[in-house]
């Protein structure tokens, strides 16, 4: 942690001297290598979860200037208090170095070509060698905001910082601000040519990267120790720093949350300025401040863990940073202040244009025939310079039409920025945006995956909820049944009276009326009972069903076989008839002629098993429900078999007959009679229809002759 301060100081010296300084610092600080190694591993092993990095970026950009300072603070604190990670040279370097080296150089070249006019001067510097290597790490990662066009500008800035050591501390502060808003940055850079490349807005990895370089160059140098060439040094240092920077970036939100309140602002700024005082032998004070930070950090060891986790996720972003830095470093050397300005305006315009684009109605875009193609395609070759302006004018018109003041202001400002560019720059601008867009594709894919995952979880939770609700229903019903039993225990005398009167009845109507009367009486008694005073409508319904069940249970024999032996004998005959039929009747029997398309599900065992249970139910209502279940099972199977059409009665009736013959439920005729006697008046709607089909099927079975 202490090493960081020296590192920053290193920036003061020109490149060639950097090395030496770093060496010195290294020896002084006595960096522990073990901790570094672990960090390196974390960095290299980071899985690609761009989401996290993006989030941090967003949070950073959306802040106001005051927050930016805090931001910086948090960064510093993370760097210092977070760990000794800063000092890890060897492991990190090796990891990143290999990564970069292995990557192909083609993309870097193309990028360079794209920005040739702007960055040609830079390209000639030492950076050219470095670039290709660094560039390559990028492609696989989805940078939240690819900073291609800005990269060169940044590089330039970087150089500036190196050459202007005296203003470092101030520059640092400024940079923190710049990070958050381009315009701000622009203003600053103009006001003072010496502006150092501070931290960039988090949304611009390139900037961050650069910052990292600044801060950690020394660290990188440590790692390298006495390395041979400055260019190489810078490269390695950068790589390494990228990881660090990344980490700090990552941490920022956390730190902000945790430490904004805890860390006094004044100290923070001091902290940022540390490098300078240190250089001038105020190291002691700085160390004190650092110690304070450490103390703040230490109380919560979990923070360290968090940092690690976050860093693990950072890799994609880090790589982007590296790429950017590659651009930056080499380019920076030969940049002039004016170019610097143009870069700013370029990136600024890009940002604004991006805003305008994302608020545009994508459906309306095709109307702008020429403008649409440019909307993100780098190979767009239309020479007209004001295409973008045209597009923006249409957007502006729409905004005015909608009286969207914010939008109007935004678009007007964007138009102003863009209209100042020549056609070539415009094209470059669009190419840059397109590139950004492409680079974000993996992130979008990641978000899509996340959404899928979340939806899966949601579906799972809904299923769980269904289960719980079902359990609740069953429990409620059982509870109601128990309550009904308690109620009926008090009514035992009445029950016996009712059974006696029921026995006396001979006509079916009388019996039906007797049952209905008694049930009504019981329902009334229940309504008056104290237990049921606050029962809900559903509970009352359940209770009525439970009452009906117990009553019908008591009189079942009498009600089901009103003619006693006569009914039983009739059922037996019919049962035997069906038994004979089941031997000869197949699904393709002449009387059924079930269409071939449905024969694959024959003999519909699930429907058979449904109807076989019918005698387990005692109340007519439950029996009808059982029949309904059988019918819907048959319908389900039929619609499963025939994808081309929905099964109708023509398809259903033969199958129903076949299922009844095969299942051959006992007491079929008595069942029909029982339900007709005690439930027919209550049948309604669909229940009524399926009951009709059932009785029709039973009638039809009577007519089939097994001898034919």
Q: How far apart are CA 690 and CA 676, in angstroms?
A: 13
Smaller CB separation from another protein, 118 or 594: 594
* DSSP per position, 115-149: THHHHHHHHTSTHHHHHHHHHHTSTTS--SS--HH
Q: Which is nearer to another protein, 412 or 636 (CB)?
A: 636
Minimum CB distance to another protein smaller for 489 or for 644 = 644
Got the DSSP string for 253-284? Answer: HHHHHHHTTTS-HHHHHHHHHTHHHHHTT-HH
Distance CA 152, CA 155 (A): 5
In degrees and rounded to multiples of 5, residue 314 shows phi and psi of -85, -15
Q: How many C-beta atoms surround the C-beta of residue 707 within 10 A?
A: 5
Q: Which is nearer to another protein, 324 or 627 (CB)?
A: 627
**What does the block give as tokens for 197?**
């490349």
CB of 639 to another protein, least distance (A): 5
User: Given its phi and psi angles, is residue 420 left (phi above 0), alpha (psi -120 to 50 degrees) or beta?
Assistant: alpha
The minimum distance between CB 662 and another protein, in angstroms, equals 19
In whole angstroms, how close is the CB of 586 to another protein at the nearest point?
15
Q: What is each CA distance from 523 to 9, 222, 540, in whole angstroms?
A: 91, 90, 9
The 3-state DSSP class for residue 667 equals coil
Q: How far apart are CA 660 and CA 593, in angstroms?
A: 15
Under a CB-based contact definition with an 8 Å cutoff, are residues 49 and 446 in contact? yes
Rounded least distance, CB 700 to another protein, Å = 6
Closer to another protein by Cβ: residue 45 or 593: 593
Least separation in angstroms between CB 690 and another protein: 7
- Binding residues (CB under 8 A) for another protein: these are 591, 593, 632, 635-636, 638-639, 643-650, 652-654, 685-686, 689-690, 692-693, 695-696, 699-700, 703
Is the Cβ of residue 6 or residue 654 nearer to another protein in the bound state?
A: 654
Comparing CB distances to another protein, the nearer of 298 and 682 is 682
Rounded Cα gap, residues 626 and 611, in angstroms? 7
Output the CA torsion 289→293→296→302 (10° steps): -170
The residue written with tokens 């960039």 in the block is: 200
Cα–Cα distance measured from residue 418 to residue 423, given in angstroms and rounded to the nearest whole number: 10
For residues 367 and 692, which CB has a smaller minimum distance to another protein in the complex?
A: 692
Contact at 8 Å (CB) between 188 and 178? yes
Judged by beta carbon, residue 488 or residue 592, the one nearer another protein is 592
**Smallest distance from the beta carbon of 619 to another protein, in angstroms?**
23
Residue pair 158/165 in contact (Cβ under 8 Å)? The answer is no
CB of 638 to another protein, least distance (A): 8
Closest CA to 334 of 209, 166, 158: 158
Nearest approach in angstroms of CB 451 to another protein is 24
Smallest gap from Cβ 592 to another protein, in A, equals: 8
The Cα–Cα gap between 208 and 328 comes to: 11
Cβ nearer to another protein, comparing 192 with 695: 695
CB of 51 to another protein, least distance (A): 35
Closer to another protein by CB, 107 or 695: give it: 695
For 134-259, where are the E strands, in sequence order?
Answer: none
CA-CA-CA-CA dihedral for 667, 668, 669, 674, to nearest 10: 80
Question: Looking at beta carbons only, is 47 or 685 nearer to another protein?
Answer: 685
- Residue 644 CB, nearest approach to another protein (Å): 6
Q: Tokens 């950073």 — which residue?
A: 60
C-alpha 292/C-alpha 46 separation (Å) is 30
Residue 474 has, within 13 A of its CA and on its CB side, a CA count of: 5
The tokens of 449 are what?
A: 């995956």
Backbone angles phi and psi of 88, in degrees to 5 = -80, 105
Q: Of the two residues 445 and 692, which places its CB atom closer to another protein in the complex? A: 692
Using CA atoms, how far residue 178 sits from 52, 208, 682, in Å, is 22, 11, 78
The nearest distance, CB 514 to another protein, in angstroms, is 23
Instruction: In angstroms, give the least distance from the CB of 650 to another protein.
Output: 5
> In angstroms, what is the minimal distance from the CB of 703 to another protein?
6
Q: Supply the DSSP symbol for 614.
A: G
The residue among 123 and 647 lying less far from another protein, judged by its C-beta, is 647
From 323, 278, 386, select the one nearest 96 (Cα to Cα).
Answer: 323
């Amino acid at each position: 942690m202490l090493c960081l301060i020296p590192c920053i100081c290193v920036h003061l010296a020109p490149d060639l001297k950097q090395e030496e300084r770093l060496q010195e610092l290294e020896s002084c600080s006595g960096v522990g290598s073990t901790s570094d190694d672990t960090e390196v591993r974390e960095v290299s092993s980071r899985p690609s979860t761009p989401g996290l990095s993006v989030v941090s970026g967003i949070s950073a950009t959306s802040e106001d200037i005051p927050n930016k300072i805090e931001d910086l603070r948090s960064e510093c604190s993370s760097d210092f208090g977070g760990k000794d990670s800063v000092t890890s040279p060897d492991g990190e370097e090796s990891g990143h170095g290999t990564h970069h080296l292995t990557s192909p150089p083609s993309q870097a070249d193309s990028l360079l070509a794209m920005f040739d006019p702007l960055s040609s001067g830079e390209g000639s510097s030492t950076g050219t060698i470095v670039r290709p290597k660094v560039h390559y790490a990028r492609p696989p990662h989805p940078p939240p905001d690819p900073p291609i066009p800005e990269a060169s500008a940044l590089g330039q800035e970087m150089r500036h910082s190196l050459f202007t050591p005296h203003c470092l501390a101030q520059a640092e502060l400024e940079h923190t601000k710049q990070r958050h808003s381009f315009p701000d940055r622009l203003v600053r850079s103009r006001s003072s040519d010496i502006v150092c490349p501070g931290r960039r807005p988090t949304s611009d990895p390139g900037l961050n990267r650069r910052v990292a370089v600044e801060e950690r160059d020394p660290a990188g140098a440590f790692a390298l120790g006495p390395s041979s060439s400055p260019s190489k040094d810078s490269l390695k240092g950068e790589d390494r720093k990228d990881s660090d920077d990344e980490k700090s970036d990552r941490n920022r939100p956390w730190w902000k949350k945790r430490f904004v309140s805890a860390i006094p602002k004044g100290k923070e700024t001091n902290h940022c300025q540390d490098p300078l005082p240190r250089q001038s032998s105020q190291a002691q004070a700085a160390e004190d401040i650092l110690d304070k930070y450490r103390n703040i950090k230490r109380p919560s060891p979990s923070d360290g863990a968090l940092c690690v986790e976050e860093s693990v996720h950072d890799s994609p972003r880090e790589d982007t940073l590296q790429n950017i830095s590659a651009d930056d470093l080499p380019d920076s050397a030969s940049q002039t202040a004016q170019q610097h300005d143009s870069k700013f305006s370029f990136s600024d315009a890009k940002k604004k244009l991006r805003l305008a684009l994302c608020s545009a109605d994508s459906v309306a875009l095709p109307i702008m025939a020429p403008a649409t193609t440019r909307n993100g395609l780098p190979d767009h070759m239309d020479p007209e310079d004001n295409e973008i302006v045209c597009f923006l004018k249409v957007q502006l018109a729409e905004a005015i039409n909608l009286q969207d003041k914010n939008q109007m202001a935004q678009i007007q400002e964007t138009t102003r920025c863009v209209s100042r560019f020549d056609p070539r720059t415009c094209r470059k601008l669009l190419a840059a945006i397109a590139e950004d867009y492409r680079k974000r594709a993996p992130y979008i894919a990641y978000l899509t995956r996340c959404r899928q995952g979340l939806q899966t979880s949601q579906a799972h939770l809904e299923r769980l909820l269904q289960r719980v609700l079902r359990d609740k229903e069953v429990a409620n019903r059982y509870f109601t049944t128990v309550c009904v039993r308690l109620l009926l225990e008090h009514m035992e005398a009445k029950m016996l009276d009712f059974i006696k009167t029921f026995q006396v009845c001979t006509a079916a109507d009388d019996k039906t009326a007797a049952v209905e009367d008694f049930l009504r009486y019981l329902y009334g008694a229940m309504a008056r009972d104290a237990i049921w005073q606050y029962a809900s409508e559903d509970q009352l319904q359940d209770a009525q069903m439970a009452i009906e069940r117990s009553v019908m249970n008591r009189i079942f024999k009498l009600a089901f076989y009103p003619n006693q032996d006569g009914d039983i004998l009739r059922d037996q005959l019919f049962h035997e008839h069906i038994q004979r039929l089941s031997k000869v009747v197949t699904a393709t029997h002449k009387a059924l002629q079930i269409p071939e398309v449905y024969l694959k599900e024959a003999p519909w065992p699930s429907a058979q098993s449904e109807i076989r249970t019918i005698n387990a139910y005692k109340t007519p209502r439950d029996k009808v429900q059982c029949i309904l279940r059988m019918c819907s099972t048959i319908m389900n199977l039929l619609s499963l078999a025939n994808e081309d059409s929905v099964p109708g009665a023509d398809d259903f009736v033969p199958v129903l007959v076949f299922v009844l013959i095969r299942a051959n439920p006992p007491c079929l005729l008595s069942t029909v009679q029982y339900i007709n006697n005690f439930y027919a008046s209550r049948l309604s709607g669909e229940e009524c229809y399926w009951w009709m089909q059932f009785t029709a099927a039973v009638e039809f079975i009577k007519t089939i002759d097994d001898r034919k």
